[in-house]
A and B are shown apart, each in its own frame.
Chain A
Amino acid sequence: LLLILIASISRATNPPLTFTGTEIEEQVFIADTHCMNVSAGPTQKMNLFQSVTSALDNTLAGDPTAVIFGEDVAFGGVFRCTVGLRDKYGKDRVFNTPLCEQGIVGFGIGAAAAGATAIAEIQFADYIYPAFDQIVNEAAKYRYRSGNMFDCGKLTIRAPWGCVGHGSIYHSQCPEAFFTHCPGIKIVVPRGPVQAKGLLLSCIADQNPCIFFEPKILYRAAVEQVPTEAYQIPLSQAEVLQEGSDLTLVAWGTQVHVLKEVAAMAQEKLGVSCELIDLRTILPWDTETVCKSVVKTGRLLISHEAPVTGGFAAEISSTVQEECFLNLEAPISRVCGYDTPFPHIFEPFYIPDKWKCFEAVKRMINY
């Protein structure tokens, strides 16, 4: 893990790169301009990890019960999301735990059940599995099984998520699909700093246990003007980033930016008008916005890094064909990771890059 941290720091000044063929192409993050109306008030230039820090800062300032814990959060965290918070709010509120994910989540459930706003950090989403029992069997079912006498709604779990260029099998995973099969929790993935802060604050305020996956490749690369005050972006509401008439593109997290480029390529090279949707909340997901779009366009492409079999695109695809069958002009397309573990040196071939998505768009238009 320390090696990854050092490598990440050394890349501080360089934006992340995607490699295709013999060219090195930059995957450029373009700040959202249209979502700037999330909150009035002063803004500050922040990258994604700083926007997370800002959200946590606002939370600790406003909620005396709030505590942040996990591995290495005390010194600031391996991705610097908690820098300065321990000094500002105290050792009893921002503290390290032993190296034990099942303990971190179990501890968080208990603290939340006892009335504290508990924000647990799992160092990498790849390591969330030891906590699977606590999340699925305990957190998700706490309220239901107790007849609403007890709940752990004050629990939020945060974890760095997704490919980062060199993360390989155990520093690149997107495990959301394992958890979407679990009623009782919420799963949220932001695409940038402004979204991250608002969605994280909504997760913290939400009275259900939430898992907030933070695209680690965007921690430094994504920079926006983020409101310094607290604000919330509603959960279970997808966002239409770009309206279009021919084809609906759905993604979440980093992949939204890939599809943004694909939409531009489709317009320029094929004259195809794409409607781009950021799902934002994976569970419970906004079926209405997606179905409404597909009714209009008749074509749907869903893209995620996680392996295609059993990935969340399968759920979206299944629901859309149920609801919009007669509106479909072409089969629903999923451009996802292959059914292999996330490879190291083969990452450029593995990821659902813009060329694969563009090719899928072409096939759908010509169906």
Chain B
Amino acid sequence: MTTLPEILDRFNQNASAAKFRGRAVWDFHRQEQTRDTHALDVKMAAARGVKKLYGIGLHAIRQNASLKATTFLQQRAFRVNGALRQQPFDSSAEKPQFPGASAEFIDHLEFIQPNVISGIPVYRVMDRQGQIINPSEDPKLSKEMVLNFYQKMTLLNTMDRILYESQRQGRISFYMTNYGEEGTHIGSAAALEPTDLVFGQYREAGVLMYRGFPLDLFMAQCYANADDLGKGRQMPVHYGCKDLNFVTISSPLATQLPQAAGAAYAVKRENSNRVVVCYFGEGAASEGDAHAGFNFSATLECPLIFFCRNNGYAISTPTNEQYRGDGIAARGPGYGLMSIRVDGNDVFAVYNATKEARRRAVAENQPFLIEAMTYRIGHHSTSDDSSAYRSVDEVNYWDKQDHPISRLRHYMTARDWWGEDEEKAWRKQSRKLVMEAFERAERRLKPNPELLFTDVYDEMIPPIAKQRDAMWRHIQQYKEHYPLDLYEK
């Protein structure tokens, strides 16, 4: 199937322009030529025409995957910023000379129709029963790696069940589960290097789990006990880990997108072969910060992967109330981003897309947008009861018929890598691991209240020190009214 960038290619190609004059760019329905053969023609013409073109034309060409990376990199070196990008002004040419767009003239009025009926297709490797559809797309990962995927997804699932329950029992104040989205976490995390910097939103615990964040530290953050790396300052699920290159989660949505662009820019200048990955949901993608993140990453040529978990809901708001276009992936080309939509419940599709995006983001210093379609099986959080806005049947469909964990299990059982006995044993073991961590976390004291006052600035400043001292004097005087026994001394 022709990608949008290839379609854009055609419009910027002198050689092919005549054939397409007057066609609506965005109308996927009306492609009459065989896409595959024409795509090849376009690519060859592009290779020939490349030296004549400047500016935006080159920009579209470089998105064409089959041209050699080396050619791109040479061209890239010239196009660092600003003025060099604009096409050279030539008043004698019939072509439009506007600095703002590279396009042909059109002589009849035609609006571009946004296409949501057959929009950007969803890339998948396995069908819903875990069978590989196109064998050449099977990443053929080792048994060890696939088992690890499965065990991480199920361990996450088990931890979610226990911590959700613990909130219901009043042991922790709040929790957010990851039910149904485990494939997006594990597939993408596995495709990254451990040194790649991750910015998350709040539903990416599996990424951290895949990287090796221990159950004890997940629990410590949720319980805000003295082992919490975050020193007990944030609500549950606001994880962070410097050693695992996972930036601490914050509650405001989409703030991480322009930050990820800035981090990627800094990483690019270091020449360290690292990429930055930025996770967010389809709801957060409506924020202004998302627009800022996309635009900055493209204009400043950042090695960055934007990973959107489109799970159908932003709390109670379904996607048809969140956007009217073709999801998040369709916005990518509008910003100049390489974009793809994948089946988020297919861990191999997620893996393949992330792997390739990573390779190219680092090699070509450009951002990629991956929209992983999935479904949020659980409630938004422990403060939400989703039966208020969606049917049990809908939820059951995804839980029973299209779940990343069961699809991967079918793949494994088909290869005799896993069976009933292994499943039973692992369920028992994973539950035991989680329960033991849970019990340890329960017993642990909370951090010393001194930590209320530190890290506001890099060093303690006099006014805060004064307030801290005043607090302690107050606590001394009214100590029976404060739960000091729960906290470390």
Contact surface of A with B, Cβ cutoff 8 Å: 65, 67, 74, 91-92, 95-98, 100, 102-103, 105-116, 118, 130, 133-134, 137-138, 141-151, 153, 183-184, 186, 207-208, 236, 284, 287-288
Contacts and interface: CB of A to CB of B under 8 A. Distances in A.
Contacts of A138: 250, 252, 255, 259
Contacts of A91: 80-82
Interface in B267-282: 267, 269-270, 276
A260 B242 CA distance: 50
7 contacts: A97-B299, A110-B262, A110-B266, A137-B255, A143-B457, A146-B248, A149-B242
For the complex, would chain A's binding face be called helix, strand, loop or mixed by DSSP majority?
Answer: mixed
A347 B45 CA distance: 63
Contacts of B247: 113, 146, 150
Interface in B426-483: 454-458, 461-464
B228 A147 contact: yes
B147 interface: no
Contact of A100 (B262, B264, B292): B292
Contacts of A287: 462-463
B255 A134 contact: yes
A118 B262 contact: yes
Contacts of B265: 67, 107, 110-111, 116
Given A106-B262, A149-B229, A144 B267 contact: no
Given A110-B261, A137-B255, A184-B456, A145 B238 contact: yes
Contacts of B197: 114
Question: Among B80, B260, B269, B464, which residue has the most Cβ atoms of chain A within 10 A?
Answer: B269
Contacts of B258: 102-103, 105-107, 109-110, 134
Nearest to B240: A146
B262 A284 contact: no
Given A97-B300, A134-B258, A150-B248, A65 B463 contact: no
Interface in B187-226: 197, 199
Contacts of B231: 147-148
Given A96-B81, A96-B82, A149 B288 contact: no
A234 to B, nearest CB: 13
B337 interface: no
Question: Among B270, B295, B300, B454, which residue has the most Cβ atoms of chain A within 10 A?
Answer: B300
Interface in B386-438: none
Interface string B51-94: 00000000000000000000000000000111000000000000
A141 to B, nearest CB: 7
A284 B455 contact: no
A111 B456 contact: no
Contact of B295 (A100, A109, A110): A100
A106 B233 contact: no
A130 B461 CA distance: 29
B230 interface: yes
A153 to B, nearest CB: 6
A28 B241 CA distance: 54
B230 A146 contact: yes
A183 B460 CA distance: 12
Contacts of B270: 115
Given A92-B269, A184-B456, A287-B463, A110 B250 contact: no
Contacts of A288: 462
B313 interface: no
A105 B461 CA distance: 25
B262 A145 contact: no
Contacts of B127: none
Nearest to B231: A147
Nearest to B233: A145
A113 B259 contact: yes
